[in-house]
Amino acid sequence: MFSQGKILCGAPPQGANACITQSDLAPFVTVSNTGSLPPGTVLFSGQPDYRNPQAQQASVGIERQIGKSWSVSANYIYVHTTHLPWAVDTNLLPGAPMVSGIPGANGLPTNGLPFQDWGAPVCSKNPSQCFADPGILQNNEYESIANAVYHGGILELRKRFSSGFSLLANYTYSKAVDDSTDFNSDYAAFNEVDLRAERSLSDFDQRHKVVFAAVVESPWQRSHILSGFEFAPIVSYNSGHPFNLLAGADINGDNHFTNDRPPGAPRNSGLGPSYAAFDIRLSKRINLGERANLQFTAEGFNIANRTNYATVNNIVGASFAPPFNVRGTSAVSPSQPLGYTAALPKREIQLGLRIGF
């Protein structure tokens, strides 16, 4: 029954639907500090004074010409980014005890190193010592408190196109450090009350990068058959990216199940696979009169057919012990810790035809 925009719930006729009352909801509701919420509630909110990310960048470089067509340069780039987003569980309190040498909150054996445990018996006996609101599971607040720093040095040798060829040789040595990878709660801190411990090499850190590229024209320009060819090889190498070692379970009882590391393991203390490739491009240009031409191209990627692994099985378990600075390996299966789980494409070849007029 409706009256003046309100629903009136009286005693319904037999067999008719009735309104849901508070007593009907009581078995499914837990009374918490934040009000009546269902058990296992996960809350999300924004920081009241949240700020957008901002970056400061500085660079300096010097270039020197050598001869008529060669030059060498050195450059340095600095980038400092502040107010990056980070999901922080404000429901966790620093009163949780430090423990060591005992199984984690889920009973999994650990490596014996100390860690702060919200699943410890003292937290069960006195939940208010460990949780701001024991009636909820998580209270994630998106805060603009993460930072990142990048340092990059670049050495480059370049030859402008002359005498039928050009050349570029580039080497980059860089380091990237940050606090958090993303605002997704999967990237939350292992210890939410010790955020400083999360500062480490970034997922995007790439210490070494080398590129050689050239363009070579056919020297037989007077030959109808051999003229018009252009050959462009590219050789590239990138060192591996860091990755996080994960326990695979919630060992510290903080109700986060995907971000725990083995006790004592720094963030991003694994090193992923390197990448190397040799690519080429071969083209042939045929003039059709004064204004039109045909260009045939053949491109090959990863010509050496090298296996470039892409990802690593980083679930190593809570009992994984030092040293933590480890690398992925092809010596074990993808289902085992540190085994490679995926690879980038092998050799690829593509052909093309272009008409210009």
For 158-208, write each residue's pLDDT tens digit: 999 888 899 999 999 999 999 999 888 778 899 999 999 999 999 999 999
- Is 305 inside a domain boundary? yes
Q: Is the bond preceding 323 in cis, omega lying within 30 degrees of 0?
A: yes
Show the domain range for 23. Answer: 6-356
Q: For 108-127, how does the pLDDT look when each residue is reduced to its tens digit (9 = 90+)? A: 889 999 999 999 999 999 99
- Is 14 inside a domain boundary? yes
pLDDT of residue 357: 81
- Is 210 inside a domain boundary? yes
Number of helices (H), then strands (E), in the chain: 2, 22
Domain total of the chain? 1
Q: Which of 300, 201, 319, 194 is nearest to 249 (CA)?
A: 319
Confidence at 6, pLDDT banded by 50, 70, 90:
very low
Q: For 69-112, how does the pLDDT look when each residue is reduced to its tens digit (9 = 90+)? A: 999 999 999 999 999 999 999 999 999 999 988 787 777 889 99
pLDDT of residue 39: 77
Q: What pTM was estimated for this model as a whole?
A: 0.82
Rounded average pLDDT over 278-292: 88
The CA distance from 347 to 306, in Å, is 8
- Is 279 inside a domain boundary? yes
Q: Which residues of 51-89 are buried (b: 16+ CB within 10 A; e: fewer)?
A: eeeeeeeeeeeeeeeeeeeeeeeeeebeeebebbbbbbb
- Is 113 inside a domain boundary? yes
- Is 264 inside a domain boundary? yes
Q: For 18-41, how does the pLDDT look when each residue is reduced to its tens digit (9 = 90+)? A: 676 666 656 555 555 555 678 789
The CA distance from 106 to 352, in Å, is 58
Which regions of 90-137 does DSSP assign to beta strands (E)? 98-99, 115-116
Q: For 243-271, how does the pLDDT look when each residue is reduced to its tens digit (9 = 90+)? A: 999 999 999 999 998 899 999 999 999 99
